[in-house]
Amino acid sequence: MSNKLEELHEHYREGDTQFELAGGIEGITKLANDFYDVMGKRQESRKILHMHPTDLTESREKLARFLCGYMNGPELYEEKYGPLALGPAHSHLAIGNTEKEAWLLCMKDALSMQPYSQEFKDFMYMRLCVPAGRIQNRP
């Protein structure tokens, strides 16, 4: 899996290709909204949904802004909220393997709803597995 990720990184390295392939701000906003819609519907993600504020408006906006920068686009999260370290931002939450897998499952579903190529969906999913693994803070 990591070899495939390296290969795809090579492939998508040029300039802001990743951000563009993800649909720019509009496409990434749709991805973040679909992600939280899925989280609200799936049984597997009930627990992580309840870790969030009841009103998900800000969570949706923060994830979209963060992902723009993460996909090598404009640093919209930082512009509005300042720098973010993902680990410390989640350290008040109990995130074990089950919670991490639930988050990734929602992301996989949300990616499947986007008009991206299958290869790019796989690439984005693999890229997100890395920070998800770092955010996990218990077994």
Where does this chain bind ligand HEM (CB under 6 A)?
48, 51-53, 59, 62-63, 66, 70, 81, 86, 89-90, 93, 95, 99-100, 103, 128, 131-132, 135-136
Nearer to ligand HEM, 2 or 54 (CB): 54
**Roughly what angle, to the nearest 10 degrees, separates helices 24-41 and 97-112?**
130
Could you tell me the smallest distance in angstroms from the CB atom of residue 84 to ligand HEM? 6
Q: Which is nearer to ligand HEM, 23 or 131 (CB)?
A: 131
In whole angstroms, the minimum distance from the beta carbon of 138 to ligand HEM comes to 11
CB 18 within 8 A of CB 71: yes
Is the Cα dihedral 71, 72, 73, 77 positive or negative?
Answer: positive
The terminus-to-terminus CA distance of the chain in angstroms comes to 22
Residue number with CB closer to ligand HEM (113 or 129): 129
| Tokens found for residue 13 | 């390295």
Least Cβ distance, residue 69 to ligand HEM (angstroms): 10
Q: How far is the CB of 64 from ligand HEM (least distance, A)?
A: 9
Reference 25, options 62, 68, 63, 57; nearest CA is 68
